[in-house]
A and B are shown apart, each in its own frame.
Chain A
């Protein structure tokens, strides 16, 4: 699919497939086209070219039927802040057309899922950041969607809350919900996604399971060398002489591969190494 905004091409010929029951991660820096891709899947942006099919429905014509079976967790919190936790879920139970007889049970289920049962009567503006995120996810799931679209689900949250959400998302996937998740956190993609599509400037630069991508493009391990700028330049020269690839990360140089004789911190290679190798840019 292709999407242009005037001169700018936000999504330039992206192919994306989310197999049923798996979690696919869209990984890329800000401005890579992840959010635009998400918006096209709910017909809030219309593709200029290409075909989109969501859960068997062809977009944009059948998008309403597709939207009924999708849940969306937006990047920006758009809960109704003067309403309570339960009222927010009630509104979405109506918007997603849950029949009257099943509505209350669906709300209770969502409250349990997000572990917010004892906050049901609390106004949203009195919830913590982590609780709001959990409610945002519960709101997207109240109608038991087949596909969950998560746009940067843990952006701006502290590490503890992030891990809590990871457990929640992992749990959903293990129960069979298909998930498409955009993120610019390497660790998030590596932990949660069965398959990762690495995006840059609106198109996919690599697709595959995280471990396979790392093995294929970055090798098993990397050596991180810290030091003053002069020392870093020296290391870069030495590594290139050995035929190894390097990348700068501000205060250090990462040398991909074994890097014999280099005095540094050895670590497993990761998706960020893959991204940098493939595009020459940093993700964060």
Chain B
């Protein structure tokens, strides 16, 4: 059933998302701005009074860039999981879309692109908030939305895949507790991986979010050459694998 991706099919699905977004953008924008602000204030005042530098960065620099990755994760994997599940199970939206000249592959690709775009935009908000708290602007930060887009594509696809696998919406509790919470904490977001035992540091290197955090920090405070090419490769590879898996699992779920 997998063929080529037709532009008109992708744009049809994207138009639906954009038109729907016009009815709830305020709440989404509110939560994705307020959440990182609270993180920055809480961690900034909480730890910032205990530590001034972490890994050679000012603590506000460390947390603001770490929160970007958190923001990307929250803006991609959760909307993808719940949105996908609700759209096929409760709203039956996907029945209607797949009855139109749109294949599952195109549906998944368009949804992942849309989520990636949102994650890129909202994921960058913590940098703006951080600037209010004393983060110095840098030209490299202009690449952060693109990093957020690439990482958001992978995490969005991952969320779609999970939605295609779980039997009921309660299944998301297991996924977010056992998988997403450790991934989000063992990524060097709020404390460096070097604080963890060796085995956890090794595991951390397999965490795509860790590579996103590193790339955002280096974009903001100075590129690190080949190391950053490696981080980028992991993010892109993660995205490609998750994208294909999301198509396989959602197809299994949607087509009898």
Contacts and interface: CB of A to CB of B under 8 A. Distances in A.
A42 B103 contact: no
A67 B104 CA distance: 14
Contacts of B3: 64
B20 interface: yes
B16 A67 contact: no
A21 B3 CA distance: 32
Given A80-B93, A82-B24, A97-B8, A91 B16 contact: yes
A257 to B, nearest CB: 43
A53 B15 CA distance: 30
Nearest to A77: B92
B255 A46 contact: yes
Interface string A232-255: 000000000000000000000000
A147 to B, nearest CB: 12
Contact of A67 (B11, B95, B101): B101
B248 interface: no
Interface in A68-101: 68, 70, 72, 74, 76, 78, 80-83, 87, 90-92, 94-97
Given A44-B256, A90-B19, A97-B12, A65 B101 contact: yes
B1 to A, nearest CB: 7
A95 B94 CA distance: 12
Given A82-B23, A91-B16, A43 B100 contact: no
Interface string B18-30: 0110011000000
A60 interface: yes
Contacts of A121: none
Contacts of A72: 96, 99
B19 A95 contact: no
B200 interface: no
Contacts of B91: 78, 80-81
Contacts of B95: 44, 74, 76, 78
B12 A95 contact: yes
A189 to B, nearest CB: 23
Interface string A26-54: 00000000001001001111100000000
Interface residues of A, number: 31
Given A44-B255, A83-B19, A94 B11 contact: yes
A42 B13 CA distance: 18
A186 B39 CA distance: 62
A80 B20 CA distance: 8
Contacts of B102: 64, 95
Interface string A95-126: 11100000000000000000000000000000
B101 A68 contact: yes
B1 A95 contact: no
A95 B16 contact: yes
Contact of B19 (A42, A43, A67, A91): A91
A67 B102 CA distance: 9
B50 to A, nearest CB: 46
Contacts of A36: 256
A175 B12 CA distance: 28
Contacts of A96: 12, 100-101
Given A44-B95, A74-B96, A95-B102, A87 B12 contact: no
Nearest to B99: A72
A82 B20 contact: yes
A78 B15 CA distance: 17
Nearest to A10: B256
B24 to A, nearest CB: 7
Pick the most buried of A3, A43, A97: most chain B CB atoms within 10 A of its CB: A97
Interface in B42-100: 91-93, 95-100
Interface string B213-256: 00000000000000000000000000000000000000000111
Contacts of B13: 95
Interface in A142-183: none
Interface in A245-274: none
Given A44-B254, A74-B92, A90-B15, 11 more contacts: A44-B99, A44-B255, A45-B256, A67-B100, A68-B100, A74-B96, A78-B92, A78-B93, A80-B20, A82-B20, A91-B16
